Structure formats: structure tokens, C-alpha cells
Amino acid sequence: MKKISLLICIVTFLSCSPKKISISPTAVLITDVNIVDVSNGDILKNRQVVIDSGKIKKILESVGNVGEYPNIIEAKGKYLIPGLAEMHAHIPQPPTSDTRIEETLFLYLSNGITTIRGMLGHPTHLVLREKALNGEVLSPRIFTSSPSFNGNSVTTKEEAVQMVTAYKDEGYDFLKIHSGIELEVFDQMVETANELNIPFAGHVPVMVGIRHALESKYATIDHVDGYLEGLVPQSEAVDPSTNGFFGYSFTPLADTSKIDELVALSKKNQVWVVPTQSLFERWFAPVSSDELLKQPEMKYMPVSTLENWKRRKDESTKPETGFNEEQWSKFTAIRRELIRKLQENGHGMLLGSDAPQLFNVPGFSIHHEVEGMKEAGLTPLEILQSGTINPAIFFGMEDTFGSIREGLDADLVLLGSNPLLDISALKDINGVMVRGKWLSQDSIAEQLGQIASNAKNN
């Protein structure tokens, strides 16, 4: 009997003892970290995360041979989230230099963005996508659109067939839709895209309209484009081409009681929405260009770019354009209501800020977007999901990225505080891991300093 009791004690002791696992010379151990479960908002406290070969190998409550790990990241009291996705990004293209392109990719990474969806494709982006995948360039994971479908690039049904076919064959991930496309040309594009199984996303041409766009099953509608126009009663008999900046001119005519119908149609047709609200609270907003130019992140953009941004903003918001703060306030209130209801009852939201765009510096702009979503009424968890698990679901890659689980890519962000309590914690970055490569806080600061120095001369 004593032998049995002793055996039980030994088994119990062994089962409770810290686990020892074989250690690779390239393994990284993150110790005592609090893992944010983005699927439900739970916090897994004081976990040990083993990473090797770009993957999350083990998540344990304890590890017995900590000192034997060649690479240790001490994270007691810190919080680990999946890398973020910027779902409306732009990647520079020639004649932009390779150096500036790589700097732009690093600006995304420095802010915890480990996946980007490029929204204006170029043949060089196909090459860059593969280099990023193979680790030949330090970069977020890249998905890239085709070059633009717009009223100038595609004017006939025959051109639509040719362009969709060519871009599918060239390997673009999806088609980018801009404004100006005639309805019959748009419908031919949709028909061919469906036949060839290539998604399409982006803007809603005014001759198409939001309801037909939703019924055509966009993969995403970006900027909440077309929705405000869809709130204008038919009895107003407006000329759709006079809508102004994303429907701004129709603000006084918008009937917000129609929002629920558009939200339901979005859900029925499984259309995701990328708000890019920061665009409307920075570029098209009653904040001066001089005030925006004072923000710290502007030092990472070339002087020539900042001058162009100032000129374009001043031109698009001067009094002669019809822009005024009172109408903008109503315009923004409608957009926020749309965003909130699309989150509550639509198909889903994806985090995206449209960078680099006017005063949206790559990477840094995602924090302005987060604040915009917060102002619209989204919770910290909903915002976090829009930039992590939702993009993974969107791409059908939940077994690759978007959460912190064994076997997934090691795309991780180490934060100094809990983002579920205060979403601004996303700016409190202690380090970023992109497919297993660790970028420490110090190394990020050093590289950002070099980018700022280079920007002064361009």
C-alpha cells in the first residue's frame, strides 16, 4: 500500500513539474507573458511561448530548462497579441527607389503590422510578395491587388474580359475597383471575375451604386464607399456624379433610417467593410495641414511628400470647395453610425487606414484608424479582432496567422499594457516578431532614426 502511495506521489510530482523539451539552437523563448486570446477576449496569464523556424511551436504554463534557451525574451507583466493587418495599404512602386520601398515596409512593421493588403498593385509587387514570403526582404506578409480598374483603364466589356483574365494569369490576389466604371462594363468584370475565381474589392462606382455593388458580392467595400449615397431617397432625384468626397455633398439629404437596410444587405451578401475612417478625420477634416505636419510621425516621410500632402489638403478643404465644419460634423456622425451598425449587424469589419495617403504615415496611421473606430463605438476587442482574426478569416488562413496558437506563423506584437483595457496600448510596443524574426524596441528605434534621417534629404 505504501509503495502504491509513493508511486502516486511520484506521478503527481512529475505531472506538475515544469516541462523540459528538446531545444533547437535557433529557438526563441518568450517568458511569463500574458497572451491575449483575440477570439474571445480571454487573457492567458504567465505563459511560456516557444518559437522556432518562424512558427509558434509550444505554449506552456511552465518550462523547466529556461536557461538552456539560446534566445530569451523576458516579458513578465507584458501582453502578447497577434501581428496586426493593415487591410488598406499602399506599397510604393517604381520610380520609387528600393530603399524607400523597404523603409515603407519597415514603417508598417515598426507599428506591429505583420500583414498588409496592397490596394494598388504593380508587377513589382508580385516579386516583392514572394521575396517577403521567402524572407529575402524584411516585410509584412503581402497580399496585392491588380492595377486599377477605373473609368479610364477599362471602357468596354471586351476590355473588362481581357484585363480580368490577364491579372488572374499574372497572379494578383484580387482586382482593385476605382470610380468611373460604367454599369455594363462593371457587370462584365464581375461575371468574368466569378468565372475565373478572383475576388474584387475597393470603391463603388457611382453608376453602380451601393445596392448593386453589395449584390455583386464585393470581397470588401473600402472607405464605406457608396453607403452615404445609398441613404439618399430616390425622390430627391440627385445626379449621382455630384456626390462629392465619398458622398459628402449629399449629407443634408441622407436618411439614416435606411442604414439598417444597407447593413442587412451587406450581411446577406457577406461583404466585409474596411472603414479607413482616419482619412476622413485627417485629410478631409477641419484640422489644418500645419497642425498635422507637427505630428511626430511626419519626420519619416520625405519632405517632397509632405509638401504635396499639404497642397492637396489645403486645396480640397478650402471654402470655395463647399467644405464647412458643420456639414463635416454631420457627415462624420453618419459615417460613425454606419461603422457601428456594420460592426453590430453586418458581415464584418477589417482594420485599414489607407496609408501612405494624405497625412497617413504607414504604420502610424493605423493608430489614428483605431481611434476612429473607437469613436464610432467599437470595443477594444472588436477593434483588435478587425486587425487580427478577421483578416485571417477573410483570407481563409486562420491556420496560418491572426491568433496565437501552436503551429501558426510567429507574427506577434509585445505590448507594455493590456489593449483590452485601453486600445491605445497598441502604441506601447516593446517588440515585434514577423514570422519568427524578432525586432526589439531598440532595433526598431534605431531603424526609425535612419529612416527619419533619409527623409530629410528627399
Query: Per-residue pLDDT tens for 406-438?
Result: 999 999 999 999 999 999 999 999 999 999 999
Question: Would you place residue 9 in the very low, low, confident or very high pLDDT band (cuts 50, 70, 90)?
Answer: very low
Crossing angle between the packed helical segments 325-345 and 259-268, to the nearest 10 degrees: 40
In a domain, 109, yes or no: yes
| Average pLDDT, rounded, for the chain | 94
What is the CATH classification number for the domain harbouring 260?
3.20.20.140
- How do residues 200-238 score in pLDDT, each as one tens digit? 999 999 999 999 999 999 999 999 999 999 999 999 999
Q: Which residue has the cell 465644419?
A: 325
Question: Would you place residue 22 in the very low, low, confident or very high pLDDT band (cuts 50, 70, 90)?
Answer: confident
pTM over 0.85: yes
In a domain, 26, yes or no: no
Average pLDDT of span 365-393: 98
Domain count, the chain: 1
> Quick one: pLDDT at residue 67?
85
In a domain, 377, yes or no: yes
Contact between 336 and 376 under an 8 Å Cβ cutoff? The reply is: yes
Question: Which helix (H) or strand (E) element contains residue 46?
Answer: strand 43-52
Is the pLDDT assigned to residue 8 strictly greater than 50? Answer: no
Q: CA nearest 385: which of 34, 80, 39?
A: 39
Q: How many CB atoms lie within 10 A of CB 51?
A: 25
Domain membership of residue 201 as a residue range:
81-410+436-455
CB within 8 Å of 233: residues ≥ 6 apart: 253, 255, 258
Is the pLDDT assigned to residue 195 strictly greater than 80? Answer: yes
Provide φ and ψ at 445, rounded to 5°: -60, -40
Q: Cα torsion at 149, 154, 155, 156 (round to 10°)?
A: -120
Distance CA 229, CA 179 (A): 14
> Quick one: pLDDT at residue 422?
97
In a domain, 51, yes or no: no
In a domain, 226, yes or no: yes
In a domain, 66, yes or no: no
Strand partners, 201: 176, 220
Residues of the chain with pLDDT > 90, as a percent, come to 91
Is the pLDDT assigned to residue 13 strictly greater than 50? Answer: no
Question: Would you place residue 127 in the very low, low, confident or very high pLDDT band (cuts 50, 70, 90)?
Answer: very high
Question: Would you place residue 19 in the very low, low, confident or very high pLDDT band (cuts 50, 70, 90)?
Answer: low
Strand partners, 59: 49
In a domain, 323, yes or no: yes
Distance CA 28, CA 40 (A): 27
Average pLDDT of span 167-179: 98
- How do residues 30-82 score in pLDDT, each as one tens digit? 999 999 999 999 999 999 999 999 999 999 999 988 888 999 999 999 999 99
In a domain, 238, yes or no: yes
Distance CA 388, CA 181 (A): 32
Buried b (16+ CB within 10 A) or exposed e, 81-109: bbbbbbbbbbbbbeeeeeebbbbbbbbbb
> Quick one: pLDDT at residue 1?
44
Question: Would you place residue 11 in the very low, low, confident or very high pLDDT band (cuts 50, 70, 90)?
Answer: very low
> Quick one: pLDDT at residue 458?
75
184 vs 458 pLDDT, higher one: 184
> Quick one: pLDDT at residue 389?
98
DSSP string covering 158-181: HHHHHHHHHHHHHT-SEEEE-S--
> Quick one: pLDDT at residue 20?
57
